[in-house]
Every structure is written in C-alpha cells, then in structure tokens.
C-alpha cells in the first residue's frame, strides 16, 4: 500500500506532462490561433511560462513520489533525516525560483514595450490613430476623423460617429485611441490577444496589426457595472479601400437630410 502512493504521485505528473505537450498543437489555451502580430509574441511568452511551470510541476511531483518510494522501501528501524531549518535547502529553493522569475521578467520586457511604449510603435501608426474608441456604460462609441483629416482629441466638425462597430484596415499596423466617458473599462479582443484598460481622464493609444480580414469580437474585460455583460462590439478588419468606402458611406448616412432618401425610395 505504501508503494501505491508513491506510484500514484508519479502517475499524475506523467498525465500533466502529456497534456502540456499536446496542448499547444490542439489550441486548448486560446480561443483561436493568434491573429495579430503581437499575438504571436504574447502566445510565445505564454508557452515559455507553460514550459517552465510544467518542468517545475513534474519535477516537484517526481521528487514527492521519490520521497514516498524511499520511505516505503526503507528499513523500518532506520532513523529519519530531520531537514527542517536546513540553511542550504532554504537558500537553494529561494534562489532557484528567484532566478526563474527574473528570467521571465527580463524576457517579457521586449514584448511589453512593443505593446505599451509609444516610441516602439511602428512608425506608420505613431501619429495616426484611425479612430477614437470611447467606452461608456454600456457600449462602445466610435469617432472617426472626417475623411482626409487627422483625428483630434476633442470632437471636430465633420467627425463621423458610430456605435459598437469599428472598421479598421487588415494586414497593416493600426492604432486607435482608447478613452472612457465614465468608469474603468477594458478593450479586450481575445483573438488578437489585445487587452488594455480604459482609464478615466487618459487617452491611451492601442495598436495592433490584424493578419486576416474578418469580424472580431470586442468585449469589456473590466467589471464596469450592472450592464458589463452588454458591452460587446465588433471589429471589422477589411482592406484599406474597404475602410475608406465604409467611411464614405458613413459620411453620407450622417449627413442625411431625409429628402434624398425619400426621393430614391419613391423611385424604387
């Protein structure tokens, strides 16, 4: 029976090892493969940590099983080794994890800088946000600059407005300005691996390069009030020509005076 427990604790790390090895291929950890350039880097960091954690877990569990096995096969009359308070051990298991953590923190600095530090943003987007995404209880209000002009921090005449749908170009770096009108929200696009808090009073630039055209779900990832669950929007990634056609359409709709529209309706 004593040996059973040793085998029992050796069995589980094998299961864990198997699951961790096959997980990346089966995409168990993420809603899809990463669909933005930054997403690949973020997934890379995740899998690096997964390897470290797997090695640690498997190693510790094997050590536990080994201790149990030794205990089970030991001569019952031999004396136990009393290890509590051992300086050597304490130092080893403090320094080793410390090195691991420092290694992780240094490795991720580059990725973090690519995501957050404006000077590291691609040159093409630094000065040219395509839209302002204003989070609000409980929806996303979008403001585009009038076609042919730059986005200003404060609303300008001719700006175009929409709600819960953002059109951005695919396959090129894109930047939006994230703001909130009331409380904290978070701009979360799971398939792009983009997640950024919107903080009252701040204009936060967020950039991404979407690799494939298509619709992406935008969610609020900061519990922002009773209607938090309603804060779902759509990011539409399409060709730059598609985006400008969309903006032209939006501009026409926003300037509707009800006369033109009625005339076309009566012709049909």
Which residues bind to other proteins, rule: CB under 8 A? Answer: 137-139, 141, 155-158, 161, 163-165, 226-227, 230-234, 253-262
- In terms of CB distance, is 137 or 184 closer to other proteins? 137
Question: Residue holding tokens 């089966």?
Answer: 26
Neighbours of 82 (CB within 10 A): 7
Q: Is the dihedral of CA 189, 194, 195, 196 positive or negative?
A: negative
Under a CB-based contact definition with an 8 Å cutoff, are residues 222 and 185 in contact? Answer: yes
Give the shortest CB-231-to-other proteins separation in angstroms.
8
| 153: DSSP letter | S
- In terms of CB distance, is 9 or 162 closer to other proteins? 162
d(CA 207, CA 175): 4
Phi, psi of 232 (to 5 degrees): -120, 135
Give the shortest CB-196-to-other proteins separation in angstroms.
21
Give the shortest CB-9-to-other proteins separation in angstroms.
33
Closest CA to 244 of 190, 167, 178, 186: 167
Give the shortest CB-136-to-other proteins separation in angstroms.
8
- In terms of CB distance, is 124 or 260 closer to other proteins? 260
Closest CA to 207 of 189, 224, 220, 185: 189
Token digits of residue 177: 């300005």
- In terms of CB distance, is 97 or 225 closer to other proteins? 225
- In terms of CB distance, is 143 or 207 closer to other proteins? 143
Token digits of residue 47: 């899998």
H/E segment holding residue 160: strand 160-163
Under a CB-based contact definition with an 8 Å cutoff, are residues 95 and 26 in contact? Answer: no
Give the shortest CB-161-to-other proteins separation in angstroms.
6
Under a CB-based contact definition with an 8 Å cutoff, are residues 42 and 34 in contact? Answer: yes
- In terms of CB distance, is 114 or 165 closer to other proteins? 165
- In terms of CB distance, is 123 or 257 closer to other proteins? 257
Give the shortest CB-162-to-other proteins separation in angstroms.
8
- Reduced to 3 states (helix: H, G, I; strand: E, B; else coil), residue 120 is helix
Give the shortest CB-72-to-other proteins separation in angstroms.
39
């Amino acid at each position: 029976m004593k040996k059973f427990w040793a085998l029992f604790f050796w069995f589980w790390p094998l299961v864990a090892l198997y699951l961790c090895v096959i997980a990346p291929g089966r995409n168990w950890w993420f809603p899809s493969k990463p669909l933005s350039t930054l997403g690949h880097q973020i997934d890379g960091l995740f899998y690096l940590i997964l390897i470290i954690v797997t090695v640690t877990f498997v190693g510790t569990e094997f050590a536990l099983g080994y201790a149990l096995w030794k205990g089970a096969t030991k001569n019952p009359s031999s004396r136990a080794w009393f290890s509590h308070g051992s300086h050597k051990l304490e130092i080893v298991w403090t320094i080793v994890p410390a090195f691991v953590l420092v290694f992780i923190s240094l490795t991720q600095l580059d990725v973090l800088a690519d995501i957050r530090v404006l000077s590291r943003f691609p040159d093409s987007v630094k000065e040219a946000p395509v839209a302002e995404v204003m989070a609000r209880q409980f929806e996303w209000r979008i403001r585009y600059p009038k076609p042919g002009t730059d986005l200003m921090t404060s609303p300008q005449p001719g700006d175009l407005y929409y709600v819960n749908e953002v059109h951005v170009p695919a396959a090129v770096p894109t930047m939006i300005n994230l703001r909130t009108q009331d409380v904290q929200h978070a701009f979360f696009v799971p398939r792009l691996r983009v997640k950024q808090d919107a903080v009252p009073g701040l204009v936060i630039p967020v950039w991404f390069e979407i690799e494939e055209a298509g619709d992406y779900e935008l969610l609020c990832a900061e519990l922002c009030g009773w209607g938090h669950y309603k804060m779902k929007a759509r990011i539409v990634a399409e060709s730059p020509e598609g985006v400008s056609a969309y903006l032209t359409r939006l501009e026409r709709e926003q300037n509707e005076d009800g006369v033109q529209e009625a005339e076309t309706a009566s012709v049909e």
